[in-house]
Amino acid sequence: MSSVRSLEAELTAAITTHDALDFETWARRIFRHQFERNAPYRAFCERRGVRPETLARWDDVPAVPAAAFRRHDLACGPPEAVFRTSGTTAPETRGHHLVPHLALYRASALAAFERFVLPDDARLACLFLVPPPELLPDSSLARMCTWVGEAFGHGVEWFVGAGGLDLERLLDRLAGAERRGDAVLVGGVTSAFIQLFDICASRRHVFRLGPGSRVMDTGGAKGLLRPLSRAGFLRACWTTLGVAGYACVNEYGMTELCSQRYESVLRDRFDGRGLAPRRWLAPPWLRTRVLDPDTLEPTRAGDVGLLCHHDLANAGSVAVVLTEDLGRTIGDDGIEVMGRAAMAPPRGCGLLLAELGAA
């Protein structure tokens, strides 16, 4: 167990201290680590003829479909925490991510959040439109929000309970923040913001939160009671909360990953690139390739395909996860997320899932 800890602890320290990461070297080390300790994944790799000593480069590390986390325990050791998917797309078989080294997950989550949501080192009161971890202990989002509040927040309040979103208490809290001119961070799932916008529209409530306030939403279109474009969401943040679009940052994350991507707008603004296109950026330890749904070969730059994430912070499980999310590259540092593939699993995902099951 000491050798397992040493690799993950070393990566945790590198992320926490902002050390430069040689992605190729770390990808090889982590692949060997997972090949040796994750039995289902090792059998899968052997069936594909890929071993640490034959690996040509980092992007040849075999990917597993995200759906595999619903069928297999993919971990390199006993988990310190188990996170489960919401079940929005497959409630009968929720995915589960076994995390053997929680400190690595925390380091990755906090470093990315600070880089993209708090690039000005702001420390804000945190209003979270998600259930607290004691109510939903297997939610990776609730755990991440807890870490964010502890590390960066001036107080944390939760506005989702067993009965759902507590709109009356949230409205009172927003009104109080407006009266005092407080800057706040309002974070949560996109669907909860839609509920807030709708009740405000029905009651003709309009807030103007203090300068420096910002919004972090996650989840995209999943669970929405009504469709709302990204442009519509940003307009509603301004008209309802008084938060400008450049201070509204969408998070792209998955239970199966220990790292997240964030919209670029706030980071770009503080880097003097305010006219750069809105896109999702990643921390240095996460890379994403766009693959053809049938062949799983890389698409041409700008073409739409399946998003395949190589997350070094997933050192304790499987580092390379092939999703059923569609997207394309934007510039040389970002992606655009464009929704989900059709209901049937893409052919490439299906074939990999069958191979893993037979392994």
Over its length of 359 residues, how does the chain's per-residue pLDDT go in tens digits? 445 558 999 999 999 998 899 999 999 999 999 999 999 999 999 999 999 999 999 999 999 999 999 989 999 999 999 999 876 555 557 899 999 999 999 999 999 999 999 999 999 999 999 999 999 999 999 999 999 999 999 999 999 999 999 999 999 999 999 999 999 999 999 999 999 999 999 999 999 999 999 999 998 655 566 778 899 999 999 999 999 999 999 999 999 999 999 999 999 999 999 899 999 999 999 999 999 999 999 999 999 999 999 999 999 999 999 999 999 999 989 999 998 876 555 554 555 555 555 55
How far apart CA 354 and CA 72 sit, in angstroms, is: 12
Q: What is the DSSP string of 95-155?
A: -EEEES-HHHHHHHHHHHHHHHH-TT----EEEEES--TTT-TT-HHHHHHHHHHHHH-S-
Query: Residue 340 forms beta bridges with which residues?
Result: 325
Look at residue 1 in the predicted model and tell me its pLDDT. 45
Q: Contact, 220 vs 250, CB < 8 A?
A: yes
How far apart CA 89 and CA 214 sit, in angstroms, is: 29
Look at residue 228 in the predicted model and tell me its pLDDT. 86
Q: What is the DSSP string of 37-49?
A: H-HHHHHHHHHTT
Topology of domain 2-78+285-358 in CATH is Luciferase; domain 3 (2.30.38)
Would the pTM count as exceeding 0.85?
A: yes
Report CA-CA distances (Å) from 128 to 1, 132, 134, 188, 211: 36, 8, 14, 5, 19
How far apart CA 296 and CA 290 sit, in angstroms, is: 9
- H helix or E strand, kind and range, residue 170: helix 167-180
CATH class, range 104-281:
alpha beta
Query: Residue 252 forms beta bridges with which residues?
Result: 261
Strands (E), the chain: 64-65, 81-84, 96-99, 125-129, 156-158, 160-161, 164-165, 184-189, 214-218, 248-252, 261-263, 280-281, 286-291, 305-311, 320-330, 334-340
Look at residue 353 in the predicted model and tell me its pLDDT. 53
Query: Hey, where are the domains in the chain?
Result: 2-78+285-358, 104-281
Look at residue 221 in the predicted model and tell me its pLDDT. 58
Tokens of 115: 């880089």
Q: Contact, 5 vs 101, CB < 8 A?
A: yes
**Cα 165 versus chain centre, distance:** 22
CA-CA-CA-CA torsion for 239, 241, 245, 246, nearest 10 degrees? 150
Q: Contact, 315 vs 101, CB < 8 A?
A: yes
| Three-class secondary structure of residue 166 per DSSP | coil
Same fold across 2-78+285-358 and 104-281? no
Q: Contact, 218 vs 253, CB < 8 A?
A: yes
CA-CA-CA-CA torsion for 197, 281, 287, 328, nearest 10 degrees? 70
